[in-house]
Each structure stands twice: as structure tokens, then as C-alpha cells.
């Protein structure tokens, strides 16, 4: 049964105070759905799944990032270890080339040092400080743009996983709602049943009390014995004890129902059906047990959840497989720093744009990737086996619910006939007792049979209601 989030919000508005008015079955269901913590948790999981779906879709789009930093360095950087003297050259018109300026000896040849080096006549002086740069405070940063082109199918698979997960959480929420409604219905009809049995027990006490009064009068007149009176008194006392037990059970059942509905357990919940003489049972033939298992599988939320789990693990297998395929992405960046080296050494911000592509091709990981793929295949096989096992159990569950429904129909018809017979039997016994042809024991036997027939009638009515609910839940047709 599909339950929308809006339904749960509306349910809180529709819920009425149990202390102010009679509460119908639908009101109990609404209050339970609005106040049940599992339903609230499921709603949050659906919301979280929606956010994950948005997150997965964002992977299709380019990612823009900024990174920056600051460094405080202890020392400056120098390209020279000390002051430098560099030899110079002059243009030689005779050769058309540049020649080193060297010291010329009296013989007209360049003078050489003892170690065989020429002595320059002129030098260029480069002080160390001229190539020493201040890098004590460095600022840097970059703005990057990354656009995935091909990720081995990972992004597509992750988007499908996110979509399936949203549907999975909705199916689980609906399954939780079915469980809540089933529990509320069982508690509701338990209260109705005990209230009917309370009325029955009260009527039975009244019958025995009247019989006790009549037998007491007969003892005084000498037409009955004290033994007859004691037998009736014992029955009366036992009936009063049973009435007390029923009343205590009724109070506890009201508390249990209030707890399921999220209401204070110290406030009595007066139910709309509890004071009815009959429970408006439809003809038992209206409860059909004809179904198709394929339709059942399609309607069951737990089966939907397991089927979605299989789909999710199919995509997880593709995600693992994508790690063995090439990955391609386009990149663009603007990087900057202060100081910068783009135009000499400048202590100001300057930067540049750059574009490129990144390709990652897995080559050899010593079989680790293959092991991941095999593990993913095993996980998928497990989910498929769980689905098959669940279908087998659901087939058995629906068969059992169907058999119990047929049994409840027969029991209801039988109980109805027995009740009519018990009513007539009691009437005849009371008439015979008044005319003096039947003993008090016979009347008490008729009363006991009447009590049993009424109790079985109540049980059969409630059982028919509950079997209908359990069958509808088993078939995935629970409507609320």
C-alpha cells in the first residue's frame, strides 16, 4: 500500500483526542501512522535518499574548486653563493665575432695563469644581493574546473543506485506502515472483543444472580435444597471473578492501543465499535481468497524492496567494474601567487590560465580489482537468493492466510447457528424452570452453553475481521 509523506502530515491533523470523542478504526490508524517513530525514521531516510540522488546527479556536472595557502619561510632565496666576476667580450671586426677581453703579454699572446687559465682584462661584476629574492611571505592559490568525460560507467551506475535507493526507502516505509496498521487493527479489535465479552460476562452474572434469587426463594418455600443454592452461588462467584478478569484485560488492552496510537495510556480510548451489539460483519463470502502469486509479488512492498536491492547490487557490480576501465576528465585552472616569476621577480599577485586532460588507465594491481568484481558478483547472487527465499515464504504465508480465512468463514457460520440454538435452549430452560419441570442444574447448564456460544460468536466475529486484515496484508492489498 503506497503511503505518501503528505498522508502522514495530514494524519496528524486528522487525529482526534481520544478523551474527547469516540475513536474510529481509521482514526486509530491515522494517529499511529502520524506518531510511530519507525514511520518518522523511514520518512527521514527517504529525505536522505533524495539528497543522495541530487549528489549523484551532480557528478555529471563540472566541479569548480578553489585552493589557496600561505607560507612563512625562514630564509630568502639566492641564485648566487657569492659575488661573481664574469669575463666580457668585444666585437672583432676582422673576424666578425665576439672575442673575450684578455690580458695580452709582451709577446702579443694572452697571458695564462700557472694552472692554464686565461686572465680576463675586463670583468662584469654581479653582486650576490642582486639575485637574492625575498620569499619569506608567499601567497598562492588556484581555481580549478574538472569535467568528467568517461569514468568507466561509474557515474551512470551511481545515479541509478541513488534512484533505486529512493524507491527502496519508500517501499520500506510503506511496509512499515502496513505493519503499524496491522498491529493497530489487532489491538483495536482486541478492545472491541473484550468490551463485548465484558457485556456478556455482565449479562451472565445478572442471569446467575436472578437464578440465585429464585433458588433462594425456593429454599425458603422448601421446594429446593441448600445444595442447589450453594451450586448457584459457586457459579455466581466464579462469574464475578471472570468479569473482573475481563475488565482488567480490557483496561490493559486500551492502554496497549493508546501506546500504539501515540496517545497517553492513562486516558481511556472509547472506540466507535465497542458498544455495538453486532460488529456489522459482512457476508463471509465477500472475503475472497482468490489471488495470483504474480499479482501478490507485484503488490508486496517487501518484495519490491528486495527487487530494488537486487537492482542496486547490479549497479554496484558495474561501479566495481568501472575501476578496471579507463577514466578521462578535462581540466582547467587559473593559478596565481605572490611573489610571482612571470615577469622577473615581482612581489605582487599574478597568475595564468591552463587547460588539459587527465587519463587514468589501470594496468596491473595483482588481481585486486578482479577480486573486487568477484566479491560484487557474490553479493548480487546473495540478494537474488534472498529474493527467491522471500517469495517462497510469501507463497506459504498467503496460503496459510487463505486457509485461515476459509476456516474463519466456516467458524463464523457455525458460531451463528450455535448461538441461535443456545438462545432457544436457554429460553426453554428458563421456561421449564418457572414451570417447575427443570432443576437449577439444568438451567445453569443452559446458561453455560449460552455463555460459551456467545463467547464463540464474539471470537468468530473478531477472528473474521483479523483474518481479513492478515490476508489483505499477505496479498499486499491492505487499504487504509
Question: Mean pLDDT across the stretch 457-470?
Answer: 93
Q: What's the CATH architecture for 5-35+152-325+363-475?
A: Up-down Bundle (1.20)
Give the pLDDT confidence score for residue 281 in this predicted structure.
54
Is the model's pLDDT at 334 over the cut of 80?
yes
Q: CB–CB of 346/337 below 8 Å?
A: no
Q: How confident is the model at residue 49 (pLDDT cuts 50, 70, 90)?
A: very high
Rg (CA), the chain: 46
Is the model's pLDDT at 108 over the cut of 80?
no
pLDDT digits (tens, 9 = 90+) for 380-392: 999 999 999 999 9
Give the pLDDT confidence score for residue 355 in this predicted structure.
96
Q: How confident is the model at residue 287 (pLDDT cuts 50, 70, 90)?
A: low
> Residue 291's closest CA among 300, 282, 283, 301?
300
Is the model's pLDDT at 21 over the cut of 70?
no
Where are the domain boundaries for CATH 1.20.1600.10 in the chain?
5-35+152-325+363-475
Give the pLDDT confidence score for residue 114 in this predicted structure.
85
Is the model's pLDDT at 17 over the cut of 70?
no
Q: How far apart are CA 405 and CA 371, in angstroms?
A: 51
Q: CB–CB of 426/449 below 8 Å?
A: yes
pLDDT digits (tens, 9 = 90+) for 110-166: 888 888 888 888 888 889 888 888 889 999 999 999 999 999 999 999 999 999 999
Is the model's pLDDT at 419 over the cut of 60?
yes
Is the model's pLDDT at 254 over the cut of 70?
yes
Which are the contacts of 444, defined by CB distance < 8 A and separation ≥ 6? Answer: 208, 211, 231, 232, 235
Q: What average pLDDT does the structure give for the chain? A: 89
Q: How confident is the model at residue 6 (pLDDT cuts 50, 70, 90)?
A: very low
Regarding beta strands 89-92 and 97-100, do their DSSP bridges make them parallel or antiparallel, or are they unpaired? antiparallel
Q: How confident is the model at residue 65 (pLDDT cuts 50, 70, 90)?
A: very high
Q: How confident is the model at residue 275 (pLDDT cuts 50, 70, 90)?
A: confident
Give the pLDDT confidence score for residue 280 in this predicted structure.
55
Give the pLDDT confidence score for residue 279 in this predicted structure.
61
Question: Mean pLDDT across the stretch 361-379?
Answer: 92
pTM, to two decimals? 0.80
Is the model's pLDDT at 19 over the cut of 60?
no
Q: Taking phi first (over 0 means left), then psi (-120 to 50 degrees means alpha), and beta for anything else, what does residue 477 get?
A: alpha
Q: How far apart are CA 251 and CA 265, in angstroms?
A: 10
Burial degree of 69 (CB within 10 A; 0-12, 13-18, 19+): exposed
Lowest-confidence pick of 28-37, 61-70, 218-227, 355-364: 218-227
What percent of the chain has pLDDT above 90? 69
Cell of residue 36, nine digits: 510511530
Which are the contacts of 69, defined by CB distance < 8 A and separation ≥ 6? Answer: 139, 140, 141
3-class SS of residue 255: helix
Question: Mean pLDDT across the stretch 234-262?
Answer: 95
Is the model's pLDDT at 231 over the cut of 70?
yes
Is the model's pLDDT at 288 over the cut of 80?
no
pLDDT digits (tens, 9 = 90+) for 172-230: 999 999 999 999 999 999 999 999 999 999 999 999 999 999 999 988 888 888 998 99
Is the model's pLDDT at 289 over the cut of 70?
no
Q: Between these two residues, 467 and 113, which has the higher pLDDT value?
A: 467
Q: Between these two residues, 170 and 278, which has the higher pLDDT value?
A: 170
Is the model's pLDDT at 14 over the cut of 60?
no
Give the pLDDT confidence score for residue 278 in this predicted structure.
67
3-class SS of residue 340: strand
pLDDT digits (tens, 9 = 90+) for 336-351: 999 998 888 888 999 9
Q: How far apart are CA 172 and CA 201, in angstroms?
A: 43
Give the pLDDT confidence score for residue 10 in this predicted structure.
43
Give the pLDDT confidence score for residue 11 in this predicted structure.
42
Cα angle 197, 200, 202 (rounded to 5 degrees) comes to 110
Q: CB–CB of 99/92 below 8 Å?
A: yes
Amino acid at each position: 500500500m503506497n503511503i505518501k509523506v503528505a498522508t502522514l502530515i495530514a494524519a496528524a491533523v486528522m487525529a482526534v483526542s481520544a478523551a474527547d470523542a469516540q475513536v474510529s478504526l481509521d482514526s486509530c490508524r491515522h494517529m499511529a501512522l502520524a506518531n510511530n517513530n519507525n514511520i518518522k525514521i523511514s520518512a527521514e531516510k527517504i529525505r536522505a535518499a533524495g539528497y543522495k540522488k541530487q549528489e549523484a546527479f551532480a557528478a555529471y556536472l563540472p566541479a569548480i574548486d578553489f585552493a589557496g595557502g600561505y607560507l612563512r619561510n625562514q630564509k630568502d632565496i639566492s641564485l648566487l653563493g657569492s659575488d661573481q666576476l664574469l669575463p666580457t667580450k668585444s666585437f672583432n671586426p676582422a673576424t666578425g665575432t665576439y672575442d673575450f677581453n684578455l690580458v695580452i703579454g709582451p709577446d702579443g699572446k694572452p697571458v695564462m695563469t700557472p694552472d692554464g687559465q686565461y686572465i680576463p682584462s675586463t670583468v662584469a661584476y654581479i653582486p650576490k644581493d642582486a639575485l637574492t629574492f625575498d620569499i619569506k611571505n608567499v601567497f598562492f592559490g588556484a581555481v580549478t574546473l574538472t569535467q568528467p568525460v568517461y569514468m568507466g560507467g561509474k557515474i551512470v551506475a551511481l545515479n541509478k543506485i541513488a534512484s533505486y535507493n529512493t524507491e527502496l526507502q519508500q517501499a520500506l516505509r510503506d511496509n512499515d506502515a502496513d505493519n503499524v496498521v496491522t498491529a493497530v487493527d489487532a489491538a483495536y479489535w482486541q478492545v472491541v472483543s473484550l468490551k463485548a465479552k465484558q457485556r456478556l460476562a455482565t449479562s451472565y452474572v445478572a442471569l446467575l444472580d436472578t437464578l440465585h434469587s429464585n433458588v433462594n426463594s425456593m429454599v425458603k418455600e422448601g421446594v429446593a435444597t441448600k445444595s442447589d443454592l450453594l451450586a448457584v452461588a459457586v457459579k455466581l462467584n466464579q462469574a464475578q471473578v471472570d468479569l473482573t478478569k475481563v475488565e482488567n484485560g480490557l483496561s490493559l488492552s486500551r492502554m496497549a492501543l493508546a501506546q500504539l496510537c501515540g496517545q497517553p495510556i492513562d486516558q481511556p480510548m472509547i472506540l466507535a465499535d465497542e458498544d455495538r451489539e453486532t460488529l456489522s460483519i459482512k457476508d463471509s463470502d465477500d472475503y475472497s481468497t482468490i489471488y495470483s502469486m504474480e499479482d501478490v509479488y507485484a503488490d508486496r512492498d517487501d518484495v519490491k524492496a528486495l527487487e530494488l536491492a537486487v537492482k542496486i547490487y547490479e549497479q554496484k557490480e558495474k561501479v566495481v567494474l568501472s575501476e578496471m576501465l579507463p577514466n578521462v576528465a578535462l581540466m582547467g585552472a587559473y593559478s596565481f601567487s605572490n611573489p610571482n616569476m612571470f615577469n622577473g621577480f615581482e612581489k605582487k599577485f599574478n597568475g595564468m590560465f591552463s587547460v588539459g586532460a587527465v587519463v587514468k588507465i589501470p594496468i596491473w594491481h595483482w588481481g585486486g580489482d578482479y577480486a573486487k568484481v568477484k566479491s560484487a558478483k557474490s553479493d548480487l547472487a546473495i540478494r537474488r537468493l534472498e529474493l527467491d527465499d522471500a517469495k517462497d515464504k510469501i507463497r506459504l504465508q498467503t496460503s496459510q492466510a487463505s486457509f485461515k480465512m476459509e476456516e474463519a468463514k466456516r467458524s463464523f457460520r457455525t458460531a451463528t447457528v450455535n448461538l441461535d440454538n443456545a438462545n432457544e435452549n436457554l429460553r426453554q430452560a428458563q421456561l421449564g424452570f418457572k414451570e417447575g419441570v427443570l432443576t437449577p442444574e439444568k438451567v445453569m447448564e443452559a446458561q453455560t452453553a449460552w455463555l460459551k456460544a456467545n463467547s464463540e460468536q464474539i471470537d468468530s466475529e473478531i477472528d473474521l475481521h483479523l483474518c481479513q486484515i492478515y490476508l489483505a496484508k499477505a496479498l499486499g492489498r491492505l487499504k487504509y
